[in-house]
A and B are shown apart, each in its own frame.
Chain A
Amino acid sequence: MRYSAWTVFRQGLGGQRGWKPAWRSPDPKPDYEVIIIGGGGHGLATAYYLAKTYGIRRVAVLEKGWIGGGNSGRNTTAIRSNYYYRASARMYEHSLKLYEGLSKELNYNVMFSQRGMISLAHSPHDVELAHRQAGAMRLNGVDADFLSPGEIARRVPILDMSPEARFPVFGGLLQKRAGTARHDAVVWGYARAADALGVDIIQNCEVTGFRRGADGAVIGVETSRGPIAATRIGVAVAGHSSRLAEMAGFRLPITSYALQAFVSEPLKPVLDTVILSPATGVYMSQSDKGGLVIGGGLDLYPSYAQRGNMPVIRNVLGAVAAQYPSLGRVRLLRQWAGIVDVVPDSSPIIGASPVPGLFLDCGWGTGGFKAIPVGGTMLAHQLATLTPHELAEPFSLERFTTGALIDEAAGSGIAH
C-alpha cells in the first residue's frame, strides 16, 4: 500500500481502519539464499538492496529483539560527510546522497532535515585545522564553508560567544548539507520496503552459533528459533560483532563501549543546526518535536550494558549548561546508551571475514547511522557478487595486516 497525503486523507475519513501491516511477521523458513544477522539499519538496508538491486529475495533478516533496538534506534541521528580522507569522504558522501532521496525511495518519510552541521574552532590552531579539513573536503567534492564568529553567533544565538568563555569561538566549519533524520523511520522504512520485496524479517530470533561445512565455510546458523540454512551470511550487529566473530572462531579489532545520548523536554525552536564543540566533545541538535538531542564522548571502559554512568553524564550535560548558558533551566528528560563497536582507526570494517561465506559490516562505532544506506549497498553488493563493492575496498579487514588504516580521528587532528 502506497503512503501519500491522499491515503492519509482517505484513511482519516475511514477511521484509520484500512492500513496494512508495515511488515509481516513470518516464521523462519528452513533455508534462505542469504541470511543477514542483525535487524538494525545496516542489516535491513542490506536486505532491501539485495532484493531491489540484485533481485535476491529469498533473504531473512534475523533480529534477536525488535528491529531497530540496537544503535539504529538509539543514536543522535547526525548525518554528514565532512570526512578528511578520500576513501571515507566518497563513502559517506554516497550515503548522504542516498539519504537525500531516501523518503521517496522507500515511500516512508524519514524526515531527513538538512539544517547543516557546524564544528567549532576554539583556538587559532583549531582554525588552521578547520581550514585544512575544509580544503580536504572540497577536494573530496564535499561542501564546506568556514564560518566567522559573527556568522556563528547569528546561526546559533544560544552559544556563549564571549571572549571570556572557557572555550572561546574563533570560527567554525559548516557542512550545509549535513543534518539529521528520524532514526526509527529509517529502520522501519527499510523494513517495510524490504518486506514488500519478499524479505522475511524475523524478530525475537537470536543467532547463537554458526553451522560450518566440511571446508569450513558457513552453511547456516543456530538460532533461538531453530537452525536456519544459508551459504551466504552477512553480519551487521554493531556492538555485538566481537561476540558473533567469537561464535565463528575469529577475532576482530573491535572494542565495545557504551555511548550515551540525552534528550531534553520539548522546547519551542532554539537551535536550527547540529553543533559540535571539539573542546568538550559535546554535540547537539533540536528534534522536530522540540527536544534537544545531546551526545558526547564514550564511557571510559568496555561494556555491553546499555546504560552509562554519572561521571560522563555530568561531563556532557555540564558542558551544555556552560557553553549554552541560557539552557541551564532546560531539563533533561531522558538518558540512554547504546553499545558501539570501536575500531582502532575509527573506520568501519566491510567485506570478507576469515570464514568463507561470512561477510562483515561492522566497526561503525559512534557514527554509522549516517552510513546506513551505503552500508546496506556495500554489504548487499558483497553478498550478491561475492566481491567487494568499489567503495568498500579500502575498508576491508585486510587493512589491519597491511597497515593501511584510515584514521579519521587522527587525520582531522582530534587525536592531539
Chain B
Amino acid sequence: MSQPFRLAAGGLIDRGRPLSFRFEGRDYRGYAGDTLASALLANGVRLVGRSFKYHRPRGILGFGPEESNALMQLGTGARAAPNLRATEIRLHDGLEAKAVNCWPNVRFDVGGVNNLLSRFLAAGFYYKTFMWPHWHVYEGVIRRAAGLGKAPKAADPDRYENRFAHCDVLVVGSGPAGLAAARAAAGTGQRVILAEQDHVLGGRLRWDGGEIDGLAADRWADEAIAALGAMPNVRILPNTAVTGYFDHDALAMIEAVSGDDPAAPAQLPRYRQWQVRAGRVVLAAGAIERPLVFPGNDRPGVMLASAVRHYLARYGVRAGNRAVIFTNNDEAYRTAIAFHAAGGTVAAVVDTRADVDPAVAASVETLGIRLLRGASVVATRGAKALRDVAVRRADGGTLRLACDLLAMSGGSNPNVGLFSQSGGRLAFDEQLTAFRPAQSVQNERSVGAAAGLRTLDEALASGHAAGAGDGAAPRATDAHPAAEITACWRIDAPGKAFVDMQNDVSADDIGLAARESYRSVEHLKRYTTLGMASDQGKTSNVNALAIMAGLTGQGIAETGTTRFRFPFVPVALGAFAGRAHGELLRPLRRLALHDRHVALGAIMEDYGWLRPSAYPRAGETRFEAEQREARAVRDGVGIFDGSPLGKIEVRGPDAARLLDFIYASTMSTLKVGKVRYGLMLNELGVVIDDGVCARLGEDHFLVGASSAGADRIAAWLEEWLQCEFVDHDVLVAPVTTSWSVVTLTGPHARDLLAEAGASFPLGPEAFPHMSFQEGMVAGIEARVMRVSYTGETSYEINVPTGRTAELWDVLMRLGGRYGLTPIGIDAWNLLRLEKGYLHIGADTDGTTTPLNIGWDHVLRRKGDFVGKRSLMLALHRDPARLQFVGLRAEGTEPLPIGAHLVRGKGADRASDGFVTSSAYSPVFGRGVALALVHGGTGRIGETVALEHDGRRLTATIAQPTLYDPEGARLNG
C-alpha cells in the first residue's frame, strides 16, 4: 500500500499533485508540499540515516533545521548536494536521495562495526592512542571513514545571487509573534521585511492549534499574510533563513529559490543571499524542543513530540501507529491528544513528574490514555525501528510497552542564536529551564517563544508591541495555558543515552570529559565534539551543559553556553560567490584599445589590467616576437599602450611642498614644463613606487605612478593630506583612467609624430628629453611627455581615453613607412633592462631602500621627506647591504630570474643575493641580468656561483648594462 502513514485528509499538501521520488534505491510517492522527511514518514520509512562515529541506525528526529539524523546526499552528478537535511528538502518529482555516511546502504552498513567497538571509542579516545609508530599510519583509514556526504566532482552548474536591502524593520520568523510584529510595523507605513525559513508562512499557527480574534489560528494566519502581501511597504520572503547578525544591525539571509527542483524555471538561482541593513530587528524565531536523555533515545522511531504534532497537522502524516509519549512538561500532552485524534493509539504518557496538573492529566486520561506519573523510559528495543520501550514506574517496577513511536519532550529552548550573534547576553530562566535573551546590545527585540514566552497570547502581544504599531494587539481567544515543566536533564539508567545524536556524544561521554578536566563548555564541546555536528547543537547544547553543571556542582547559569556562530543554518559556498565567478571574481580591467590589441594577435595577460605581453606573428614564438619587437624599437619605431600608468593630478598652493615631502627627490625646484624622475618611500625607507612627475603649472603637478601603484599611491597621498597635512591647500585627483597613454619610441618616433601633426615644436631643443608639452596631436587634445623607458627617443602621448583608438589608428596608418611595430610588455621589459633601468616590484621588493639601488645621494638631501629618518639608521648603510648590480653569465644564455648567488660551504651556505631581472638581449647578443647582491657595488668583476632549482651556474658581477651610455639616442 502506498503511503500507509498518510491520513485520509488534512495537511498543507496538494493531494492532487502526487510526486514520485527515490530513497536508497527504492521508489516512493508523496505530494507537492511535502518535505522529504514527511514523505518518508508517510511511507513508513523509519531508518533514514547513520550516525557519524558509531554508524548507529537513526530515524527522523525533528522537522526543521534542528534535525540531526536525517542527512541526505541529494541528486547525482554535478548537481549532487551533500548533507542536506530531509526536513528541509522540498519534495519534487523525480527527487533522488541517499543517506550519507553508510556503505553499501543505510539498511546494511559496514561501518556499523564501530558500534560494536563503541566501548573503546569513547570521547577523545584518539588523543590517547595512534601515536605509535606514527599518526600517519592510522590517519588515512580514519580520513576515509570520516566525513559525511560527498562533494560533486564536476563544477557546480547552478547560479547564485547576492542582493542588498534596507528596511525599517526586519522580522525574523512568521509565527504568531512575527506576524503580529510585521502587521503592527507595516500598518504604520514602515518598510518591513518578513523572513521565514519554511516554505509555508505561519510557524506554529499551522500546526499547534489555537484561536485568535475569534478565528482558527491558521485562518488568522492566512488573513494576516494576505493583508501583509497586499501592502507595498512589505516584502515577504518564505524559504529564507536569517543566518547572521553582524554589527550595526547588518544581517545575512539565505533564500532557497529554485529548491533544487529541476522543474523550476532555468533563470531562477539556486540560492539568493541577502545582506540587509535594518533600522531594527524583531527576533521571532520561536523555540526548539529538546530531546530527553535516556538509554536508547536514538532509535529510529524516537522523535520530538513537537515533530509528531507538526507532521500530523502540516502533512497529514501520522508518524506511527502506536505511540508512547515521554515528557517532563505539559506541552507534550498536546501530542498525545493530537495523535489520538488522528486515529493512533497512545500506549501511555510517561511523565517524569510525580505531580501533574490535574487538568492536564485529565486531558489525556479522559481519552482513555494511560498516564504514568513519576515514571521514565529507561530502555528501548528494536533493531532498525522501535519495537517497545521499558518504563520504570514511580514505584520502581518496570513495564514494557510495545510501540512504534516514542514522542519525547524535554522542554523547549528559545531560538537565541541570532540574538547571541548580535552580542546580546543570555540568562538562564529556571521556570523555563532554558536560556533566554536578557540584555540587548543592538537594536533588536526578541518576542514570542524566542523570548521565552510560553503562551500564544503573550506571543501576539509581544510581537505587536515590538512592531510598534497602533491599536490593540490580536488576542488569543482559546489557547493552551502556559506549559509547566520540571527540569529533567538525564534519566539515570544504564546504557548509552545520547545527547548529540549526529556526533554520537552520550551522557557518559560528558561524564568522562568532566572527570578528565574538560569542564568548561568550550572544552566539553571540543573534547567530545558535542554541538559541532551539522546541526550545531540545536537540540543538544543545553542538555549537555545542564548535565555538565550537574556533574561539577556549578549552576547552569555559571556553566554558560558556547558561542552561537554564523551561519544559523549551513549555507552553500556558491551563495557567497553569487555572480562573482570567472572574470567577475576580481573584475578584470580592459584597455580602451583592447580590441585592437586582440586583432593584432596579442597575447593578453593579467597585469592588474589585461595587457598585451607580445604580438607574435603567424609561426612566431613569444620569444621571437619579443626580440623582433625590441629590435624594431632600436631600428625604427615602436608603439606601446601605456595607459595603465598611474596619473594623479596634484594641485594647489602647497602642491610643491607636499611633493617635496612625498618624494625622495626635490620636486619644488622643477621648472614648469619639465619632468623629473622620483622615488617614493614609506616610513621605513622602503621604495614603494617610482615614476615621473611633471610640473604643468606653478601650482599644478602630474604625478606619474607605476601601473600597479596607481590606486595605492593616490590613496597614499590622500592619507598624508588628510591625516598629517590638514593645513596644506592641495587637491589630489587620480585621473589614471581619464587619460590613455600611447607611447612612440625609437629613432623615428619624432618623424612619425610630426607626420601625425602636433601643435607644438618637436625638435630636441624646443622639446628636449624630460620635458612636457600640452596641445593637439592628430587633432586630439593631448599631454605629451618626453620620457623614455627604452633608452630611445620617446613620446608618451596622453589623450582622453575616449579618443585613444582614434590616435592609435592614425599612428598605425602613418607608421608603415617607419616600420612602426606594436610593442608588448615582454619587449618593453627587455628594452629597459638593456638600458639598466630598474622596474619597481621586479627588481625591488618590500624591503628595498634607495640605498640598495644606488640612490645614496638622497641622504644628502636637505629637508624632510617620508622615510628619511629610517634611512639614517646604520643598518641601511652597512657596506654588506644588498646593492643593485648587473650580472654577466658565461656564454650567451640568460640567467634564470630568482636564482640565488650562493656563498659559504656546507651548513654555512647562504644566499648572497639574487637575480631580479634577466633576458636575452639582441643588441648585446647575450643575456643581460640585474641583481641585488650583498655589497655588490664593491664586488664588480667578481665571479660568483649561482643556484636555481638544483642547477649550478656561474656569472660575473658587473655594472648594470648600459645601452647607449652617452645618451645620444635618448636625447636625440
**A: which residues have CB within 8 A of B?**
3-5, 7-9, 11-13, 15-16, 19-25, 65-69, 73, 86, 103-104, 107-109, 111-114, 123, 125, 128-136, 138-139, 141, 146, 157-158, 160, 164-167, 182, 184-185, 188-189, 203, 264-270, 279-280, 286, 288-290, 305, 307, 309-310, 313-314, 316-323, 325-336, 344, 402-405, 407, 409-411, 413-416
- Say which residue of A5, A20, A128, A333 sits within 8 Å of B570 (CB atoms): A333
Contact string against A for B residues 620-659, beta-carbon threshold 8 Å, 1 for contact and 0 otherwise: 0000000000000000000000000000000000000000
List A contacts of B517 (CB < 8 A).
21-25
- Say which residue of B125, B150, B158 sits within 8 Å of A267 (CB atoms): B150
Distance (whole angstroms) from the CB of B612 to the closest CB of chain A: 14
List A contacts of B565 (CB < 8 A).
334-336
Q: With A8-B128, A416-B841 as known contacts, state yes or no: A166 contacts B147, CB within 8 Å.
A: no
List A contacts of B246 (CB < 8 A).
307, 309-310
Q: Are A13 and B574 in contact (CB under 8 A)?
A: no
Residue of B nearest to A15 (CB): B119
Q: Are B911 and A69 in contact (CB under 8 A)?
A: no
Distance in angstroms between the alpha carbons of A109 and B144 in the assembled complex? 19
List A contacts of B121 (CB < 8 A).
12
Contact string against A for B residues 890-924, beta-carbon threshold 8 Å, 1 for contact and 0 otherwise: 00000011111010000101110010000000000
Q: Are A8 and B129 in contact (CB under 8 A)?
A: yes
Interface flag for B81 (CB, 8 Å): yes
Q: Are B125 and A330 in contact (CB under 8 A)?
A: no
19 inter-chain pairs at a CB distance below 8 angstroms, sorted by A residue, are A21-B517, A66-B522, A109-B131, A131-B896, A133-B898, A135-B949, A167-B606, A188-B518, A203-B520, A267-B150, A280-B586, A290-B143, A325-B156, A327-B573, A329-B152, A330-B82, A336-B563, A403-B876, A411-B847
- Say which residue of A13, A107, A111, A322 sits within 8 Å of B580 (CB atoms): A322
Distance in angstroms between the alpha carbons of A12 and B123 in the assembled complex? 11
Q: With A321-B573, A407-B846 as known contacts, state yes or no: A268 contacts B149, CB within 8 Å.
A: yes
**B: which residues have CB within 8 A of A?**
52, 78-83, 119-122, 125-132, 135-136, 139, 142-144, 146-156, 158, 160, 162, 244, 246-247, 250, 252, 275, 508, 512, 515-520, 522-523, 526-527, 529, 532, 534, 536, 563, 565-567, 570-574, 576-578, 580-583, 585-586, 588, 605-606, 684-686, 708, 840-842, 845-847, 870, 873-876, 896-900, 902, 907, 909-911, 914, 947-949
Residue of B nearest to A146 (CB): B949
Q: Are A12 and B900 in contact (CB under 8 A)?
A: no
Distance in angstroms between the alpha carbons of A336 and B910 in the assembled complex? 41
Q: Are A318 and B577 in contact (CB under 8 A)?
A: yes
Distance in angstroms between the alpha carbons of A265 and B566 in the assembled complex? 13
- Say which residue of A265, A328, A334 sits within 8 Å of B156 (CB atoms): A328
Residue of A nearest to B244 (CB): A310
- Say which residue of B127, B536, B566, B582 sits within 8 Å of A322 (CB atoms): B582
List B contacts of A123 (CB < 8 A).
605-606
Q: With A184-B526, A265-B149, A332-B573 as known contacts, state yes or no: A134 contacts B949, CB within 8 Å.
A: yes
Distance in angstroms between the alpha carbons of A279 and B607 in the assembled complex? 12
Q: Are B155 and A325 in contact (CB under 8 A)?
A: yes
Residue of A nearest to B130 (CB): A109
List A contacts of B566 (CB < 8 A).
313, 334-335
Q: With A3-B129, A16-B508, A265-B534 as known contacts, state yes or no: A128 contacts B897, CB within 8 Å.
A: yes
- Say which residue of A73, A269, A405 sits within 8 Å of B526 (CB atoms): A73
Distance in angstroms between the alpha carbons of A344 and B532 in the assembled complex? 36
List B contacts of A409 (CB < 8 A).
846
Distance (whole angstroms) from the CB of B270 to the closest CB of chain A: 8
Distance in angstroms between the alpha carbons of A288 and B143 in the assembled complex? 5
Distance in angstroms between the alpha carbons of A309 and B247 in the assembled complex? 8
Distance in angstroms between the alpha carbons of A413 and B708 in the assembled complex? 13
List B contacts of A112 (CB < 8 A).
135
List A contacts of B79 (CB < 8 A).
329
List A contacts of B156 (CB < 8 A).
321, 325-329
Distance in angstroms between the alpha carbons of A86 and B148 in the assembled complex? 43
List B contacts of A332 (CB < 8 A).
567, 570-573, 576
Distance in angstroms between the alpha carbons of A309 and B221 in the assembled complex? 35
Distance (whole angstroms) from the CB of B698 to the closest CB of chain A: 35
Distance (whole angstroms) from the CB of A9 to the closest CB of chain B: 6
Q: With A3-B128, A289-B146, A331-B83 as known contacts, state yes or no: A19 contacts B515, CB within 8 Å.
A: yes
Q: Are B845 and A321 in contact (CB under 8 A)?
A: no
- Say which residue of A25, A265, A320, A402 sits within 8 Å of B875 (CB atoms): A402
Distance (whole angstroms) from the CB of A245 to the closest CB of chain B: 21
List A contacts of B684 (CB < 8 A).
344, 403, 405
Q: Are A290 and B512 in contact (CB under 8 A)?
A: no
Nearest first, the 8 A-B pairs at minimum CB distance are A410-B846, A290-B147, A328-B156, A415-B846, A328-B574, A12-B120, A325-B155, A132-B898
Q: With A329-B82, A329-B151 as known contacts, state yes or no: A104 contacts B131, CB within 8 Å.
A: yes
List B contacts of A326 (CB < 8 A).
78, 151-156
Distance in angstroms between the alpha carbons of A136 and B578 in the assembled complex? 40
Distance in angstroms between the alpha carbons of A226 and B863 in the assembled complex? 54
Residue of B nearest to A406 (CB): B847
- Say which residue of A104, A138, A167, A290 sits within 8 Å of B148 (CB atoms): A290
List A contacts of B82 (CB < 8 A).
265, 267, 329-330
Residue of B nearest to A160 (CB): B155
Distance in angstroms between the alpha carbons of A134 and B581 in the assembled complex? 31
Distance in angstroms between the alpha carbons of A330 and B250 in the assembled complex? 25
Q: Are A314 and B573 in contact (CB under 8 A)?
A: no
List A contacts of B570 (CB < 8 A).
265, 331-333
List A contacts of B519 (CB < 8 A).
25
Q: Are B573 and A317 in contact (CB under 8 A)?
A: yes
Q: With A109-B127, A336-B565 as known contacts, state yes or no: A268 contacts B911, CB within 8 Å.
A: no
Q: Are A12 and B119 in contact (CB under 8 A)?
A: yes
List A contacts of B151 (CB < 8 A).
158, 267-268, 270, 326-327, 329-330
Distance (whole angstroms) from the CB of B828 to the closest CB of chain A: 14
Residue of A nearest to B526 (CB): A184
Q: Are A331 and B571 in contact (CB under 8 A)?
A: yes
Q: With A3-B129, A267-B82, A332-B571 as known contacts, state yes or no: A166 contacts B583, CB within 8 Å.
A: yes
Q: Are A268 and B523 in contact (CB under 8 A)?
A: no
Distance in angstroms between the alpha carbons of A167 and B581 in the assembled complex? 11
Q: Are B125 and A166 in contact (CB under 8 A)?
A: no
**Max count, chain A CB within 10 A of own CB: residue among B275, B580, B874:** B580
Distance (whole angstroms) from the CB of A161 to the closest CB of chain B: 12
Distance (whole angstroms) from the CB of B257 to the closest CB of chain A: 14
Q: Are B576 and A313 in contact (CB under 8 A)?
A: yes
**Max count, chain A CB within 10 A of own CB: residue among B142, B581, B914:** B581
List B contacts of A331 (CB < 8 A).
83, 570-573
Q: With A166-B586, A309-B246 as known contacts, state yes or no: A333 contacts B605, CB within 8 Å.
A: no
Q: Are A403 and B149 in contact (CB under 8 A)?
A: no
Q: Are A5 and B900 in contact (CB under 8 A)?
A: no
Distance in angstroms between the alpha carbons of A139 and B522 in the assembled complex? 43
List B contacts of A108 (CB < 8 A).
127-128
List A contacts of B686 (CB < 8 A).
410
Known pairs A166-B588, A266-B52, A313-B576 / 16 extra A-B pairs, C-beta < 8 Å: A73-B522, A103-B131, A104-B132, A123-B605, A167-B606, A188-B518, A189-B127, A265-B149, A307-B247, A314-B162, A321-B156, A321-B573, A329-B82, A331-B572, A334-B565, A415-B845
Distance in angstroms between the alpha carbons of A86 and B904 in the assembled complex? 14
Residue of B nearest to A2 (CB): B128
Distance in angstroms between the alpha carbons of A203 and B136 in the assembled complex? 33
Distance in angstroms between the alpha carbons of A24 and B846 in the assembled complex? 48
List B contacts of A131 (CB < 8 A).
896-899, 948-949
Distance (whole angstroms) from the CB of A87 to the closest CB of chain B: 12
Distance (whole angstroms) from the CB of B894 to the closest CB of chain A: 12
Q: Are B146 and A185 in contact (CB under 8 A)?
A: no
Distance (whole angstroms) from the CB of A397 to the closest CB of chain B: 16
Distance in angstroms between the alpha carbons of A403 and B252 in the assembled complex? 45
List B contacts of A182 (CB < 8 A).
127
Distance (whole angstroms) from the CB of A162 to the closest CB of chain B: 10
Distance in angstroms between the alpha carbons of A130 and B949 in the assembled complex? 10
